[in-house]
Amino acid sequence: MAIKDIRLFGDPVLRTPAADVVDFDKELRTLVKDLEDTMLDAPGAGLAAPQIGVGLRVFTYWVDGIVGHLVNPVLDLSAEEQEGPEGCLSIPGVTVDTRRALTVVAKGQNMFGEPVVLEGSELLARAVQHETDHLDGILFVDRLDPEARKVAMRAIREAEWFGEPAPRVKVSPHSTFGLGM
């Protein structure tokens, strides 16, 4: 499969809600593998399809040595919360304490369309919530209190990568998810 370019803050695809996956085919399995390869290469604790320019509800995660994926996630969050450092591959070099639910139960499907229930706490819960936010067009900086968000936005504006043009993506009339495959 392939390591893809990761879209950076400012790219409109990161603010666009992703569509439900309806075709559980070879192209979806290729997308999941590309997400895994890109996430592991970065490396990161998770990567959502919009981060590589694909507007579909699928993400991968890598927590405690376990690599997995979830398609069309629906989350049930605990009332108990955690606060801890959070960063994003689409916002390199910026890490800010972010409040999240302590535990999560995520229901969805695997790449073959089979039902999956993923339960986790702490880092896994944080990663699942973070990646599902990406599928909804939400970035972790949107979850910060106003003062922390102001500091994070200043760091983003001062980052070397800020304002870089998005990678060009070939859009095909065929079902390639716009990846130029």
The answer to whether residues 166 and 7 touch, using CB atoms and an 8 Å cutoff, is yes
Question: How many whole angstroms separate alpha carbon 74 and alpha carbon 106?
Answer: 6
DSSP 3-state assignment of 58? strand
Query: Does 122 participate in catalysis according to the annotation?
Result: no
Annotated catalytic residue: which of 122, 131, 147, 160?
131
Q: Which residues contact 15 (CB under 8 A, 6 or more apart)?
A: 137, 139
Give the torsion sign (CA, 164, 165, 168, 169).
Answer: positive
The answer to whether residues 7 and 51 touch, using CB atoms and an 8 Å cutoff, is yes
Q: Which two tokens stand for residue 132?
A: 């599902």
Hey, which residues are catalytic here? 131
